[in-house]
């Protein structure tokens, strides 16, 4: 009997302990239900942004920064990088001050000071060449709208989704035939990487296009007097002028042409010609002038949507470099999604395998981005543009034209 009573007592004790534990577990469960666990947010993805927001190239650089911020917001509002738990893009902007030395130090600083998945910048070829050298050594992918063909030589981490300088040259030469069956062209160009590479492409391709270059003249970027240069153009007998120039130089050239009474068809190429500040500075003198661009805000339905948002926010259309930068941001987002990693090497490999033909990443002439072994988009080509009623319209080639060319 004694043993039986002992066993009964032990069973009752174990039951009391079980009920206490069960009640405690219920309390814990209730507490957890009342205060749900907060999952740790995914770490942001750092993207370096190298642009000149001060100095001689500040007008374009600031527009690029505005577009980059808009693009990051678009990606983040759409859920971020889903393969990384919805990680948001974190844009780290650096002002390279329109200076090659600063560009080198700032690229180094970003790479060494932050855990970057990739970099975009700088739009100006002279600056981008420096930034890409630093990025190549650090093995960090860089994607850029710069047009210099040198960026596709001996590079492994540099990606250029838009038209190259040599392609710009061919488009300009072909557009000159819209003015004359046998055009005689004067070429003037600023003496940095952008001007020299583009102008050399013009000279090399002119014979095959049936265009005679009657003048080929470099000038020092940032000059104060365009008179002597334009007088040479006037004396050359040219019926078309190609000016490979950034904004401030081009403004001075256009005004000088008007002052000396020179009647000549002008193709301002890319650079400063295709940004709103050009029209703001020269007004109706811009009407009918032609140029080439690697991107224009009427090139696709997606481009028009982004342009409407940008224009509402900043009061002007989304110009070439800035619009291309929105597309580049979506290319990076696509690569990050597929890489499912912020490791620069893996992001680089994902960019190298990129092949998109729809959406914001593909909004550009050609409508498709696929990089070749040299980092160049094999489908890229420029679009011919013309100033019409204060806006920049795509007019060439036929497949990319959104408005007819207005002959002046």
- Confidence at residue 40, expressed as pLDDT on a 0 to 100 scale: 61
Query: For residue 159, is it left (φ>0), alpha (ψ between -120 and 50) or beta?
Result: beta
Contacts of 207 by beta carbon, 8 Å cutoff, 6+ apart: none
- Is residue 197 within a helix (H) or strand (E), and if so which, with residue range? helix 193-209
- Confidence at residue 263, expressed as pLDDT on a 0 to 100 scale: 92
Q: Is there a cis peptide before residue 253, judged by omega within 30 degrees of 0?
A: no
Beta bridge partners of 190: 219
Q: What's the pTM? A: 0.84
Among residues 70, 74, 64, the alpha carbon closest in space to that of 94 is found at 64
Return the SS3 of 376: strand
Q: Is there a cis peptide before residue 397, judged by omega within 30 degrees of 0?
A: yes
Which residue's structure tokens are 């009640």? 23
Domains of the chain with CATH codes: 45-163+299-377 (3.40.50.2300), 165-293+384-400 (3.40.50.2300)
Backbone angles phi, psi at 160, to 5 degrees: -125, 100
Q: What is the pLDDT along the chain (408 residues), one digit of tens a residue?
A: 444 445 445 545 554 443 444 444 443 333 334 444 445 679 999 999 999 999 988 989 999 999 999 999 999 999 999 999 999 999 999 999 999 999 999 999 999 999 999 999 999 888 999 999 999 999 999 999 998 889 999 999 999 999 998 888 889 999 999 888 899 999 999 888 778 877 888 999 999 999 999 999 999 988 999 999 999 999 999 999 999 887 889 999 999 999 999 999 999 888 778 889 899 999 999 999 999 999 999 999 999 999 999 999 999 999 999 999 999 999 999 999 999 999 999 999 999 999 999 999 999 999 999 999 999 999 999 999 999 999 999 999 999 999 999 987
- Confidence at residue 13, expressed as pLDDT on a 0 to 100 scale: 53
């Amino acid at each position: 009997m004694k043993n039986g009573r002992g066993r009964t007592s032990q069973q009752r004790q174990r039951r009391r302990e079980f009920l206490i534990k069960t009640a405690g577990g219920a309390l814990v469960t209730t507490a957890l239900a009342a205060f749900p666990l907060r999952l740790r947010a995914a770490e942001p993805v750092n993207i370096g942004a190298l642009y000149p927001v001060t100095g001689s190239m500040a007008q374009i650089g600031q527009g690029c920064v505005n577009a980059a911020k808009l693009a990051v917001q678009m990606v983040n509002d759409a859920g971020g990088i889903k393969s990384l738990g919805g990680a948001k893009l974190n844009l780290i902007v650096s002002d390279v001050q329109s200076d090659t030395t600063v560009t080198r130090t700032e690229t180094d600083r970003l790479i060494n000071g932050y855990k970057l998945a990739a970099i975009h910048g700088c739009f100006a070829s002279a600056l981008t060449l420096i930034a890409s050298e630093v990025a190549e050594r650090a093995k960090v992918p860089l994607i850029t709208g710069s047009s210099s063909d040198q960026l596709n030589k001996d590079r492994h981490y540099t990606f250029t989704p838009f038209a190259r300088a040599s392609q710009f040259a061919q488009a300009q030469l072909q557009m000159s035939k819209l003015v004359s069956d046998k055009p005689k062209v004067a070429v003037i160009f600023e003496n940095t990487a952008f001007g020299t590479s583009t102008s050399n492409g013009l000279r090399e391709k002119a014979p095959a296009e049936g265009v005679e270059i009657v003048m080929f003249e470099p000038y020092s970027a940032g000059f104060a007097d365009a008179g002597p240069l334009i007088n040479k153009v006037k004396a050359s007998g040219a019926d078309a002028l190609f000016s490979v120039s950034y904004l401030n130089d081009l403004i001075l050239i256009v005004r000088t042409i008007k002052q000396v009474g020179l009647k000549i068809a002008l193709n301002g190429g890319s650079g400063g010609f295709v940004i709103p500040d050009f029209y703001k500075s020269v007004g109706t003198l811009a009407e009918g002038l032609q140029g080439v661009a690697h991107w224009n805000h009427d090139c696709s339905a997606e481009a028009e949507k982004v342009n409407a948002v940008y224009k509402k926010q900043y009061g002007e259309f989304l110009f070439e470099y800035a619009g291309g930068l929105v597309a580049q941001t979506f290319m990076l987002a696509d690569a990050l999604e597929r890489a499912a990693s912020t490791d620069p090497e893996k992001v680089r490999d994902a960019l190298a395998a990129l092949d998109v033909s729809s959406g914001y990443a593909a909004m550009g002439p050609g409508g498709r981005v696929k990089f070749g072994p040299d980092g160049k988009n094999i489908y890229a080509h420029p679009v011919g543009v013309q100033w019409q009623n204060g806006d920049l319209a795509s007019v060439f080639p036929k497949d990319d034209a959104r408005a007819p060319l207005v002959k002046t």
